[in-house]
Amino acid sequence: MRILISAVVSVVFVVALLAQRPNNEEQVRQAVQSFHAAFNSHDFGSAEECTTEDWNHINPFGGWTRGRDAVLKELKAVHSTFLKGASSTIEDFSVRFASPDVAVVTVTSRSSTFITPDGVRHENERSIRTFVVVKRNSRWLIMQDQNTFISR
């Protein structure tokens, strides 16, 4: 009897989880797409609406910035200098749920030409970015992201 009750509870939980996924997936996608739109517009004012206060950002050069205020300061600095005018086009977008309140998003994209401060020209370069998106106060927010250049 215990096994039967446990099995029924498990099935009900899985069905409930699957039933809410499409709406949650769309909200998770919207958070990441909002970040991407901010990247392309070089205006990160709206990034506060799609990120947590404890946001962590790992840039493609290995730098690790902690906290939304520090991350936004870094992003504004690079987007007003060497990334000014650069854009990124999403090629692939995958959402996986680790739990009902945590999603992992993998995005591949291609960027326009830019030159980093070390003089390296990045042209038509592909990147893969991983986002950890969490549900806080009924909203899906980016808590962590890591951006890595894809080697040719």
- Full set of structural domains in the chain with CATH: 2-149 (3.10.450.50)
Contact between 130 and 104 (Cβ < 8 Å): yes
CB atoms within 10 A of CB 1: 5
Which H helix or E strand runs over 102? Answer: strand 102-111
> What is the pLDDT, as a whole number, of residue 86?
95
The yes-or-no verdict on residue 36 having pLDDT over 50 is yes
Statement: the pTM of the whole predicted model exceeds 0.75: yes
> What is the pLDDT, as a whole number, of residue 47?
86
CA neighbor of 143 nearest in space, from 115, 112, 102, 110: 102
Which residue did the predictor score with more confidence, 142 or 17? 142
The SS3 call for residue 13 is helix
